[in-house]
């Protein structure tokens, strides 16, 4: 049997998404064999993040500084605001480097089932950011789920009367999507939003 | 873009076996969201292992103590020695709790191709352990590969003349194995080693 320290490490790793007990064990063996090139760098990286982890007071992103790197970056267009449900969504969008503006993380979606009400999300701070002025466009980048779209509708209503352009992500066929395999909802959206061929 | 500290953590995790850049990113998001229940415990577990990591001077196992927990355990039968190629093999066998004796980790297998010679493995220390007396049986638990079996043969030759019983793991059908899907080598071994039905 491995020592309690090693078992504790296996268990801490096994709780990560995408890792189970078996792969955690393999990962730990790798760490033990490569102390200097794997274990120590990972340990240092964790410590560094742990010491400086912060939630951005402006947008709700998690980062190692507050305000986060995006909000602090003067090259990011402050006039465009992209509203997302979770930090993971922000990362996914920002990895693609398609959006030059800034973000606002709600921290979830409205859900009657899970008892998530507007005051549980960072909606008031979004309204305050818009009301403070300087924002021309708000992109509602909620998930294409019922709850995501309900949240988008709610925010759109709350922002009524503010002089901003409200937009949302296009719905339709995903790249590489085959009609045969797509659900009726996606097909209906794609047909409804059909565009003239250039 | 995430901060350099977070990127460093993603990259350190992505180098673990079983994790890629995508799953490492998901794991980091999980760690950031669950600072107290995921990030801190993992960081502490890594530190604890890092501080005490040691290779057992007797058997070659990696553990947080030297001698390792197995070699130091008086309940383990010192008269039976199971020789394995890697620490991972020791863990796999020991997890099944089938072997009551102790282990000896070679640290690899003989390989003309990779230039691994007997002096590159912990074979001399194995012979010394056996020569010191008190060992009745040596189980050669090498992998069922050409190189594993070559290594087993070599060790068997080196141990000739020592008053120990040499055994090796049985070869044959794996539990749940279907004949239709098994390779000829396994079928040949299983047929050659056939036993009377009780």
Contact predicate B70/A1, CB 8 Å: yes
When scoring A21, A27, A62 by the number of chain B Cβ atoms within 10 A, the one with the most, hence best to mutate, is A62
Question: Touching check for A77 and chain B: CB below 8 Å?
Answer: no
Rounded distance between C-alpha atoms, residue A73 and residue A183, angstroms? 40
Q: d(Cα B19, Cα A23) in Å, to the nearest integer? A: 9
Q: Inform me whether the pLDDT recorded for A164 exceeds 90.
A: yes
- Residues 87-146 (B) with a CB less than 8 A from some CB of A: 87-88, 91, 94
Question: Is B15 in contact with A23 (Cβ distance < 8 A)?
Answer: no
* Contact predicate A10/B69, CB 8 Å: no
Q: How many residues does chain B have?
A: 198
Domains of chain B: 4-52 (1.10.8.420), 78-168 (3.40.1360.10)
Between A198 and B98, whose confidence is greater?
Answer: B98
Ranges of residues in chain B with a pLDDT under 70 are 1, 198
**What is the model's pLDDT at position A198?**
63
In tens, the pLDDT along A46-87 reads 999 999 999 999 999 999 999 999 999 999 999 999 999 999
Contact state of B87 with A33 under an 8 Å Cβ cutoff: yes
pLDDT bucket at A189, cuts 50 / 70 / 90: confident
CB atoms within 10 A of CB B92: 13
From A60's Cα to the closest Cα of chain B, the distance in A is 12
CA A31 to chain centre: 30
Q: Tell me: the pLDDT tens digits for A171-182?
A: 888 888 787 877
Instruction: Please check whether residue A42 touches B, CB under 8 A.
Output: yes
Dmax (CA) of chain A: 67
Predicted confidence band at A151 (pLDDT cuts at 50, 70, 90)?
very high
pLDDT band at A1; cut points 50, 70, 90? low
Q: Above 0.95 for ipTM, yes or no?
A: no
pLDDT in tens, A28-50: 999 998 999 999 999 999 999 99
pLDDT in tens, B39-67: 999 999 999 999 999 999 999 999 999 99
Confidence at residue B197, expressed as pLDDT on a 0 to 100 scale: 72
Q: How far does A139 lie from chain B, in Å, by closest CA? A: 19
Contact A43 B41 (CB under 8 A): no
């Amino acid at each position: 049997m491995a020592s309690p320290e090693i078992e504790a490490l296996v268990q801490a790793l096994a709780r990560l998404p995408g890792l189970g007990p078996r792969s955690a064990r393999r990962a730990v063996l790798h760490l033990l064999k490569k102390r200097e090139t794997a274990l120590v760098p990972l340990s240092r990286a964790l410590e560094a993040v742990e010491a400086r982890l912060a939630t951005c007071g402006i947008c709700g992103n998690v980062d190692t500084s507050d305000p986060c790197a995006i909000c602090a970056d003067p090259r990011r267009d402050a006039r465009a605001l992209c509203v997302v449900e979770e930090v993971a969504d922000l990362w996914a969008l920002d990895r693609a480097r398609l959006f030059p503006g800034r973000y606002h993380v709600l921290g979830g979606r409205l859900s009657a089932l899970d008892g998530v009400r507007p005051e549980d999300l960072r909606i008031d701070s979004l309204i305050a950011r818009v009301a403070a002025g300087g924002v021309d466009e708000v992109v509602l980048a909620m998930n294409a789920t019922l709850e995501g779209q309900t949240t988008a509708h709610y925010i759109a209503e709350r922002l009524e009367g503010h002089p901003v352009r409200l937009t949302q992500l296009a719905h339709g066929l995903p790249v590489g999507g085959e009609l045969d395999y797509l659900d009726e909802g996606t097909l209906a959206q794609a047909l409804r939003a059909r565009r003239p061929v250039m």
